[in-house]
Structure 1
């Protein structure tokens, strides 16, 4: 069947080509996302990959599977985009804090352009990776893993994803990147060492299963405390080493007291009411964050908030300011709640 589709595609049959590559579309987009850190860039590079494959189908010599061939194209397109700076232009979100931000626990040298990935798009086929893989599918799309991955040089990033996430053999990766097996092994060793420093081992096994009663209980408790503006209740749910980050801002706050100070002086200060609308991102519970206008029943988008859970507690709060991300999660820029205009009076 595959050979028939391949022969038809080589003859110019577009429908046969689509049938040949469609099973790999979602996993290729997630692959581009892992390397680029941006959902929007990943979609652009996916389209470039499929176009390049269509144009080059006549040169495909079947030395590797169609899947491996497509990964070769996608990986090199992503590396070229990183090398030439041809990705979408990045800017800080227009919305700025109306109060000064407290001094962070840690300040990164550069902004992190990582974007969240909607769970609804995580229809990936690499959840049963090859024998070389070291990371489970759920872990390999987590924000902690992606944030650490973005700190690696692009080529090391690609090698680590191809080897440790997707489970390709060293010889296969060397062929994809037009390099030697020794170069791949060396890059992987450096990448693993850097990733271990950037992302210390965490108690991943204790994280509740997605959408389980355990997870839903924690998420509901957090949502109620946050919407009530109860800083003490929110902080009581944090682990002792919890982080608060706000990509792309290079400011990071670690520990309950640093996060308490930020919440009390910035996020939950004043009389503004907050509304959290549940969604999911990167295999983790998340919320569309809205601010209630006390003069109207309108709630204005205030970005996206993603939780990382460890046991019964929250080990990371990741706030994304960019409201343009919300439509990818099926969330509007504003909400109108009928019959609540008098709630605040």
Structure 2
């Protein structure tokens, strides 16, 4: 949006023109949603905070003096709303998940639940369509990869916000200082600490070796996984894993690493007694994903069983993330149940 056009819209909005306000903020709606998601880790919380941001912007439009762009002004509001939510502990309750059998001892146990949720690819496409060049589109998806988002959640809130604003969105230190009502030196210090933490939290594997999205190579790996999972073939699933692969199940803090640990979990919990599953393909966070459904032997209905996201490395699967919250299926446009005839 050109500066003169934005200035005219802002002036009309300050005079109470609701349509002008909508035209002023609409170009930034989706990227603000992704921004809230990066900081909060929850697509559902991000929607709530986006609505709060737009309401606060409308109520505060009279104070928008255009010293910064409308985009910077909106990011300031959104960032501070997200930080307030984190400080208030306004997190969604744990999924009421009671495993039918005792879970094996995990390879690692996080000190608290993981609030991370998957982000539907169809929402990212709305941003990628406005980003010039394939390299920029790749970077957009990398900045919402599950590995990056999981590492972000390990940062204190203000460091998390600074890193996203500086390294992901490219705002200058002075701009970020203005957004957070702090000094440039404080921003620089927070960014340095955040980068050091991320260097230790992010996986060491070279993710550039992952297949391109929707490529024949990616489809082959995904199809092999679907066949193995739907048939309950644990050995075939294990053969697809990297030596350091992870199985995680947000929000549960339990994590299983390595083919042996993951295979044991599948045999004793997820795929015990030959259950029948159907995986409906979708995409999340730039990665292959599925709505998971399990059959009910008493009815022809397949019931929701969470969302599964794969992280690929080379010709193998580096992580299987199973999100337990069945309400996420509706975020991906998937039903809560299917009829058996769909198989």
The TM tier, using the shorter chain, reads over 0.9
Query: C-alpha distance in 1, partners of 2:156/2:121?
Result: 27
TM-score when normalising by structure 1:
0.93
CA RMSD of aligned residues (A): 1.7
2:273 to 267, 270, 277: 270
Question: The residue matched to 2:318 in structure 1 has which SS?
Answer: strand
* Number of the residue aligned with 1:73: 77
Listed one character per residue, the Cα deviations across residues 271-318 of structure 1 (whole Å, up to 9, x for unaligned) are 211111111111111111111122322111111110001111100000
Equivalent residues in 2 for 1:46-57, closer than 5 Å:
46-57=50-61
Q: Contact 2:128/2:140 (CA < 8 Å) preserved in 1?
A: no
1:220 to 203, 208, 223: 223
* Number of the residue aligned with 2:282: 279
Q: Contact 1:30/1:124 (CA < 8 Å) preserved in 2?
A: no
Equivalent residues in 2 for 1:95-110, closer than 5 Å:
95-110=97-112
Matched, 1:259 2:267: no
Query: C-alpha distance in 2, partners of 1:125/1:21?
Result: 18
Q: CA deviation at 1:136?
A: 1.7
Q: Contact 2:7/2:66 (CA < 8 Å) preserved in 1?
A: no
Query: C-alpha distance in 2, partners of 1:279/1:125?
Result: 17
Matched, 1:177 2:191: no
Query: C-alpha distance in 2, partners of 1:300/1:330?
Result: 15
* Larger mean Cα displacement after TM superposition, 170-179 or 198-207: 198-207
Change over 3 Å in CA distance of 1:185–1:128 after alignment to 2: farther
Question: Structure 2: 5+ residue runs without aligned partners?
Answer: none
Q: Contact 1:242/1:314 (CA < 8 Å) preserved in 2?
A: yes
Change over 3 Å in CA distance of 1:34–1:126 after alignment to 2: farther
Listed one character per residue, the Cα deviations across residues 162-183 of structure 1 (whole Å, up to 9, x for unaligned) are 0111011111111110100110
Question: The residue matched to 2:16 in structure 1 has which SS?
Answer: coil
Q: CA deviation at 1:94?
A: 2.3
Equivalent residues in 2 for 1:304-315, closer than 5 Å:
304-315=307-318
2:15 to 11, 18, 26: 11
Matched, 1:58 2:40: no
Query: C-alpha distance in 2, partners of 1:290/1:200?
Result: 30
Equivalent residues in 2 for 1:122-137, closer than 5 Å:
122=124, 123-124=126-127, 136-137=139-140
2:239 to 236, 240, 243: 236
Aligned residues: 334
Query: C-alpha distance in 1, partners of 2:23/2:229?
Result: 47
Query: C-alpha distance in 2, partners of 1:263/1:319?
Result: 12
Q: CA deviation at 1:127?
A: 7.5
